Amino acid sequence: MNKLTLFFIVLAITTDSFISKTQQSKPIIRIGLIADIQYADVESRGTRYYRNSLKKLRECVNDLNKQKVQFSLNLGDVIDRNPKDLDSVLSILKGLKKRIYTTTGNHDYHGITDNQFLYEKLDMPAEYYSFKQKDWLFIMLNTNEVASYANIAGTWKEKELTAMVDSIKQAKGVNAQEYNGGISSRQLQWLDNLLAKAQAKRHKVLIFSHHPLDFSRGFTALNSQEILKVIAKYSCIKALFAGHHHSGDFGYHSTIPCITLEGMVETSDKNAYGILEIYSNGFEVKGVGRTKSYKFQIGSN
Protein backbone atom coordinates (compact mmCIF):
# COMPACT_ATOMS: atom_id res chain seq x y z
CA MET A 1 0.00 0.00 0.00
CA ASN A 2 1.52 3.34 -1.00
CA LYS A 3 1.52 6.47 1.19
CA LEU A 4 -1.09 8.29 -0.93
CA THR A 5 -3.58 5.42 -0.63
CA LEU A 6 -2.98 5.23 3.12
CA PHE A 7 -3.56 9.00 3.44
CA PHE A 8 -6.98 8.82 1.78
CA ILE A 9 -7.99 5.83 3.89
CA VAL A 10 -7.08 7.69 7.09
CA LEU A 11 -8.89 10.82 5.82
CA ALA A 12 -12.05 8.83 5.08
CA ILE A 13 -11.98 7.18 8.51
CA THR A 14 -11.48 10.46 10.40
CA THR A 15 -14.16 12.25 8.35
CA ASP A 16 -16.65 9.42 8.90
CA SER A 17 -15.79 9.47 12.60
CA PHE A 18 -16.48 13.21 12.83
CA ILE A 19 -19.76 12.94 10.92
CA SER A 20 -20.86 9.98 13.05
CA LYS A 21 -20.11 11.78 16.29
CA THR A 22 -21.80 15.01 15.24
CA GLN A 23 -24.89 13.12 14.13
CA GLN A 24 -25.11 11.48 17.55
CA SER A 25 -24.66 14.65 19.58
CA LYS A 26 -26.12 18.12 19.69
CA PRO A 27 -23.98 21.13 18.84
CA ILE A 28 -22.48 23.06 21.72
CA ILE A 29 -23.23 26.35 19.97
CA ARG A 30 -25.45 27.22 16.96
CA ILE A 31 -24.76 30.52 15.18
CA GLY A 32 -26.37 32.36 12.27
CA LEU A 33 -23.99 33.68 9.60
CA ILE A 34 -24.89 36.65 7.36
CA ALA A 35 -22.74 38.65 4.94
CA ASP A 36 -23.25 41.47 2.44
CA ILE A 37 -26.97 42.17 2.65
CA GLN A 38 -26.10 45.42 0.86
CA TYR A 39 -29.66 46.73 0.66
CA ALA A 40 -30.44 49.90 -1.29
CA ASP A 41 -33.71 51.31 -2.56
CA VAL A 42 -32.35 51.47 -6.11
CA GLU A 43 -32.60 49.52 -9.33
CA SER A 44 -30.59 46.32 -9.75
CA ARG A 45 -27.17 46.48 -11.36
CA GLY A 46 -25.55 43.45 -12.92
CA THR A 47 -25.98 40.52 -10.54
CA ARG A 48 -26.77 42.73 -7.55
CA TYR A 49 -30.46 42.97 -6.73
CA TYR A 50 -30.41 45.57 -4.00
CA ARG A 51 -34.13 45.79 -3.20
CA ASN A 52 -34.51 42.01 -3.09
CA SER A 53 -32.23 41.82 -0.07
CA LEU A 54 -35.06 42.78 2.30
CA LYS A 55 -37.18 39.79 1.29
CA LYS A 56 -34.17 37.48 1.56
CA LEU A 57 -33.30 38.91 4.97
CA ARG A 58 -36.83 38.32 6.28
CA GLU A 59 -36.60 34.69 5.14
CA CYS A 60 -33.20 34.41 6.78
CA VAL A 61 -34.38 35.86 10.10
CA ASN A 62 -37.42 33.59 10.20
CA ASP A 63 -35.28 30.54 9.51
CA LEU A 64 -32.60 31.43 12.07
CA ASN A 65 -35.34 31.80 14.68
CA LYS A 66 -36.77 28.40 13.74
CA GLN A 67 -33.29 26.87 13.88
CA LYS A 68 -32.93 28.30 17.40
CA VAL A 69 -29.49 29.79 16.90
CA GLN A 70 -27.96 31.15 20.09
CA PHE A 71 -26.74 34.29 18.33
CA SER A 72 -25.91 35.53 14.84
CA LEU A 73 -22.91 37.18 13.20
CA ASN A 74 -23.15 39.83 10.49
CA LEU A 75 -19.93 40.38 8.54
CA GLY A 76 -20.70 43.81 7.12
CA ASP A 77 -22.12 45.72 4.16
CA VAL A 78 -25.57 45.99 5.69
CA ILE A 79 -26.39 48.68 3.12
CA ASP A 80 -24.98 49.69 -0.25
CA ARG A 81 -24.76 53.48 -0.33
CA ASN A 82 -27.23 55.50 1.77
CA PRO A 83 -27.35 55.65 5.61
CA LYS A 84 -31.10 56.23 5.35
CA ASP A 85 -31.43 52.59 4.28
CA LEU A 86 -30.03 51.34 7.60
CA ASP A 87 -33.37 51.49 9.39
CA SER A 88 -35.05 49.29 6.76
CA VAL A 89 -32.49 46.55 7.36
CA LEU A 90 -32.19 46.95 11.11
CA SER A 91 -35.95 46.76 11.61
CA ILE A 92 -35.87 43.28 10.08
CA LEU A 93 -32.80 42.19 12.06
CA LYS A 94 -34.64 43.21 15.23
CA GLY A 95 -36.90 40.24 14.50
CA LEU A 96 -34.12 37.89 15.56
CA LYS A 97 -34.96 36.33 18.91
CA LYS A 98 -31.29 36.22 19.88
CA ARG A 99 -28.53 38.81 19.70
CA ILE A 100 -26.66 39.65 16.50
CA TYR A 101 -23.01 40.73 16.56
CA THR A 102 -21.87 42.93 13.69
CA THR A 103 -18.70 44.22 12.12
CA THR A 104 -18.83 46.92 9.47
CA GLY A 105 -18.28 46.61 5.72
CA ASN A 106 -16.84 49.20 3.37
CA HIS A 107 -20.27 50.14 1.95
CA ASP A 108 -21.60 50.88 5.43
CA TYR A 109 -19.42 54.02 5.60
CA HIS A 110 -20.96 55.66 2.53
CA GLY A 111 -22.49 58.97 3.62
CA ILE A 112 -21.22 58.55 7.18
CA THR A 113 -19.15 61.36 8.70
CA ASP A 114 -19.17 60.07 12.30
CA ASN A 115 -17.95 56.50 12.66
CA GLN A 116 -19.19 56.28 16.23
CA PHE A 117 -22.73 56.97 15.00
CA LEU A 118 -22.41 53.95 12.70
CA TYR A 119 -21.08 51.65 15.44
CA GLU A 120 -23.87 52.65 17.81
CA LYS A 121 -26.47 52.25 15.07
CA LEU A 122 -25.24 48.71 14.44
CA ASP A 123 -25.16 48.00 18.20
CA MET A 124 -21.41 47.36 18.12
CA PRO A 125 -19.81 47.63 21.60
CA ALA A 126 -16.63 49.05 20.03
CA GLU A 127 -14.89 49.57 16.69
CA TYR A 128 -13.46 46.05 17.08
CA TYR A 129 -14.18 43.64 19.90
CA SER A 130 -14.43 40.06 21.10
CA PHE A 131 -16.80 37.96 23.15
CA LYS A 132 -16.73 34.51 24.68
CA GLN A 133 -19.20 31.63 24.58
CA LYS A 134 -18.27 28.54 26.61
CA ASP A 135 -14.59 27.87 25.82
CA TRP A 136 -14.76 29.60 22.42
CA LEU A 137 -13.56 33.15 21.77
CA PHE A 138 -15.13 35.07 18.89
CA ILE A 139 -13.03 37.96 17.55
CA MET A 140 -14.70 40.64 15.44
CA LEU A 141 -11.95 42.48 13.58
CA ASN A 142 -12.61 45.78 11.84
CA THR A 143 -10.74 45.67 8.52
CA ASN A 144 -12.27 49.04 7.62
CA GLU A 145 -10.49 50.86 10.44
CA VAL A 146 -7.75 52.14 8.13
CA ALA A 147 -9.35 52.94 4.78
CA SER A 148 -9.82 55.86 2.41
CA TYR A 149 -13.59 55.82 3.05
CA ALA A 150 -13.42 55.55 6.86
CA ASN A 151 -13.07 59.24 7.84
CA ILE A 152 -9.36 59.06 8.75
CA ALA A 153 -8.14 62.20 6.92
CA GLY A 154 -5.87 64.25 9.16
CA THR A 155 -5.49 61.48 11.77
CA TRP A 156 -2.58 59.14 12.59
CA LYS A 157 -4.39 56.40 10.68
CA GLU A 158 -3.94 58.29 7.41
CA LYS A 159 -0.17 57.72 7.57
CA GLU A 160 -0.73 54.03 8.21
CA LEU A 161 -3.01 53.83 5.16
CA THR A 162 -0.33 55.45 2.98
CA ALA A 163 2.25 52.96 4.26
CA MET A 164 -0.07 50.01 3.54
CA VAL A 165 -0.80 51.13 -0.02
CA ASP A 166 2.87 51.86 -0.73
CA SER A 167 3.85 48.42 0.55
CA ILE A 168 1.31 46.72 -1.72
CA LYS A 169 2.48 48.67 -4.75
CA GLN A 170 6.14 47.84 -4.05
CA ALA A 171 5.23 44.16 -3.83
CA LYS A 172 3.16 44.51 -7.03
CA GLY A 173 0.06 43.36 -5.17
CA VAL A 174 -3.50 43.75 -6.44
CA ASN A 175 -5.48 44.57 -3.32
CA ALA A 176 -4.69 48.30 -3.06
CA GLN A 177 -8.25 49.07 -4.10
CA GLU A 178 -10.52 51.86 -2.88
CA TYR A 179 -12.98 49.30 -1.51
CA ASN A 180 -10.39 47.57 0.68
CA GLY A 181 -9.23 48.56 4.14
CA GLY A 182 -6.94 47.32 6.87
CA ILE A 183 -6.48 47.27 10.61
CA SER A 184 -4.33 49.76 12.49
CA SER A 185 -1.13 48.97 14.40
CA ARG A 186 -3.14 49.39 17.60
CA GLN A 187 -5.76 46.88 16.53
CA LEU A 188 -3.00 44.48 15.46
CA GLN A 189 -1.38 44.72 18.90
CA TRP A 190 -4.80 44.24 20.53
CA LEU A 191 -5.27 41.09 18.44
CA ASP A 192 -1.83 39.76 19.38
CA ASN A 193 -2.46 40.31 23.10
CA LEU A 194 -5.93 38.78 22.91
CA LEU A 195 -4.68 35.66 21.14
CA ALA A 196 -1.83 35.22 23.62
CA LYS A 197 -4.33 35.21 26.50
CA ALA A 198 -6.66 32.83 24.63
CA GLN A 199 -3.78 30.45 23.97
CA ALA A 200 -2.73 30.49 27.61
CA LYS A 201 -6.30 29.76 28.73
CA ARG A 202 -6.69 27.02 26.07
CA HIS A 203 -9.65 28.75 24.47
CA LYS A 204 -10.58 27.94 20.89
CA VAL A 205 -10.77 30.99 18.61
CA LEU A 206 -12.73 31.98 15.51
CA ILE A 207 -11.86 35.26 13.77
CA PHE A 208 -14.40 37.22 11.73
CA SER A 209 -13.78 40.18 9.44
CA HIS A 210 -15.38 41.88 6.48
CA HIS A 211 -12.36 41.61 4.20
CA PRO A 212 -10.81 38.17 3.71
CA LEU A 213 -7.31 37.72 5.09
CA ASP A 214 -6.25 35.16 2.49
CA PHE A 215 -7.44 33.94 -0.92
CA SER A 216 -10.14 36.07 -2.64
CA ARG A 217 -7.42 37.75 -4.70
CA GLY A 218 -7.90 41.50 -4.97
CA PHE A 219 -10.37 41.62 -2.06
CA THR A 220 -8.14 40.94 0.93
CA ALA A 221 -7.46 43.43 3.72
CA LEU A 222 -4.74 45.94 2.88
CA ASN A 223 -2.36 44.60 5.54
CA SER A 224 -3.55 41.00 5.47
CA GLN A 225 0.03 39.70 5.45
CA GLU A 226 0.84 41.45 8.73
CA ILE A 227 -2.37 40.09 10.27
CA LEU A 228 -1.57 36.56 9.10
CA LYS A 229 1.91 36.78 10.65
CA VAL A 230 0.28 37.39 14.03
CA ILE A 231 -2.27 34.63 13.47
CA ALA A 232 0.49 32.16 12.56
CA LYS A 233 1.86 32.38 16.13
CA TYR A 234 -1.21 30.76 17.69
CA SER A 235 -2.59 27.23 17.39
CA CYS A 236 -5.80 28.21 19.21
CA ILE A 237 -7.25 29.71 16.00
CA LYS A 238 -9.60 27.24 14.34
CA ALA A 239 -10.95 29.24 11.36
CA LEU A 240 -11.14 32.64 9.68
CA PHE A 241 -14.48 33.88 8.33
CA ALA A 242 -15.05 36.86 6.02
CA GLY A 243 -17.45 38.46 3.56
CA HIS A 244 -16.84 41.20 0.94
CA HIS A 245 -16.15 38.84 -2.00
CA HIS A 246 -19.74 38.03 -2.98
CA SER A 247 -19.02 34.85 -4.92
CA GLY A 248 -17.51 33.26 -1.81
CA ASP A 249 -14.17 31.52 -1.51
CA PHE A 250 -12.33 28.87 0.49
CA GLY A 251 -8.81 27.71 1.18
CA TYR A 252 -6.37 26.80 3.95
CA HIS A 253 -3.79 29.19 5.35
CA SER A 254 -1.38 26.62 6.68
CA THR A 255 -3.90 24.40 8.53
CA ILE A 256 -6.48 27.13 9.21
CA PRO A 257 -9.67 27.07 7.11
CA CYS A 258 -10.42 30.46 5.50
CA ILE A 259 -14.11 30.76 4.61
CA THR A 260 -15.42 33.69 2.59
CA LEU A 261 -19.22 33.73 2.78
CA GLU A 262 -21.34 34.36 -0.30
CA GLY A 263 -23.10 37.75 -0.44
CA MET A 264 -26.86 37.93 0.12
CA VAL A 265 -27.29 40.79 -2.40
CA GLU A 266 -26.30 38.63 -5.37
CA THR A 267 -28.95 37.15 -7.73
CA SER A 268 -32.64 37.98 -7.95
CA ASP A 269 -34.02 35.07 -5.95
CA LYS A 270 -31.36 32.82 -4.38
CA ASN A 271 -30.67 33.55 -0.75
CA ALA A 272 -27.26 33.25 0.94
CA TYR A 273 -26.65 32.72 4.66
CA GLY A 274 -25.56 29.90 6.90
CA ILE A 275 -25.68 28.21 10.26
CA LEU A 276 -22.44 27.47 12.08
CA GLU A 277 -22.67 24.47 14.41
CA ILE A 278 -19.84 23.91 16.88
CA TYR A 279 -19.23 20.47 18.39
CA SER A 280 -16.70 19.19 20.88
CA ASN A 281 -14.60 17.69 18.10
CA GLY A 282 -15.29 19.97 15.14
CA PHE A 283 -17.58 22.47 13.52
CA GLU A 284 -19.84 22.59 10.49
CA VAL A 285 -21.16 25.36 8.26
CA LYS A 286 -24.61 24.52 6.93
CA GLY A 287 -25.11 26.75 3.92
CA VAL A 288 -28.51 27.94 2.73
CA GLY A 289 -29.08 28.93 -0.89
CA ARG A 290 -25.79 29.96 -2.53
CA THR A 291 -23.80 29.60 0.69
CA LYS A 292 -21.59 26.52 0.61
CA SER A 293 -21.42 23.94 3.38
CA TYR A 294 -18.27 22.71 5.12
CA LYS A 295 -17.21 20.27 7.87
CA PHE A 296 -14.03 20.44 9.90
CA GLN A 297 -12.38 18.53 12.70
CA ILE A 298 -10.47 20.34 15.39
CA GLY A 299 -7.61 19.26 17.61
CA SER A 300 -6.40 20.54 20.94
CA ASN A 301 -4.46 23.82 21.09
* Ordered mean pLDDT values, 10 residues apiece, the chain (301 residues): 39 45 74 99 98 98 98 98 98 98 98 98 98 98 98 98 98 97 99 98 98 97 98 98 98 98 98 98 98 92 67
Predicted pLDDT of residue 79: 98
Predicted pLDDT of residue 25: 84
Q: What tens digit of pLDDT does each residue of 26-46 get?
A: 999 999 999 999 999 999 999
Predicted pLDDT of residue 3: 39
Please tell me whether residue 197 adopts helix, strand or coil conformation. helix
Predicted pLDDT of residue 299: 77
pTM of the model: 0.92
Predicted pLDDT of residue 14: 45
Cβ-in-10-Å burial (0-12, 13-18, 19+) of 268 comes to exposed
* Domains with residue ranges and CATH for the chain: 25-297 (3.60.21.10)
Beta bridge partners of 256: 253
Helix pair 86-93, 52-66: axis angle to 10 deg: 20
